[in-house]
Amino acid sequence: MKTINIKTIFVILTFSLLIMGCQDLKEGTMRHIVIFKFKPTATEVQIEKVTNALADLKNTIPGIMAFEHGINNSPENKNQGFTHVYQFTFKDMEARDTYLPHPEHKQFGKMLGGMQIVEDVFVVDYFPADN
């Protein structure tokens, strides 16, 4: 009869804990942060239109719990030209996954692309860590 050695048990336990940890992450709220670097030619009116359109997504796409936005005001000058921050809080990862291909989000993307005012965009999704 074959016996399992201690190294095999350790590997199995480590792998199991890793999988359980990943599953726990999928159950909590998720943050989705979008940061725009607008072209110098973008007007305040155009940027306001973008901001309002993003804010409206909270009312049309299920699973969005909160929306915040603001303009970078850090004195460190490390933003590399990215100025406008938009943060969505989703109920969970599934809500974020519903949002990404949602027709209203796609419509926003078409509107934004048609405006031709974005030089670059930076996106971060994360689960808030428990402290």
28 vs 127: CA distance, rounded Å: 7
Q: How much is the pTM? A: 0.78
Q: What average pLDDT is seen over the chain? A: 87
User: Using an 8 Å Cβ cutoff, are 112 and 118 in contact?
Assistant: yes
Q: What residues does 31 pair with on adjacent strands? A: 89, 126
103 vs 80: CA distance, rounded Å: 31
Helix (H) or strand (E) holding 126: strand 118-126
Tokens of 38: 């607008």
User: Is the per-residue pLDDT at 22 higher than 60?
Assistant: no
Q: Tell me the pairing of strands 84-90 and 118-126.
A: unpaired
User: Is the per-residue pLDDT at 26 higher than 60?
Assistant: no
Tell me which of 25-29, 40-44, 90-94 is least confident: 25-29
User: Using an 8 Å Cβ cutoff, are 53 and 113 in contact?
Assistant: no
For 36, counting Cβ atoms within 10 Å of its Cβ (0-12 exposed, 13-18 middle, 19+ buried), the class is buried
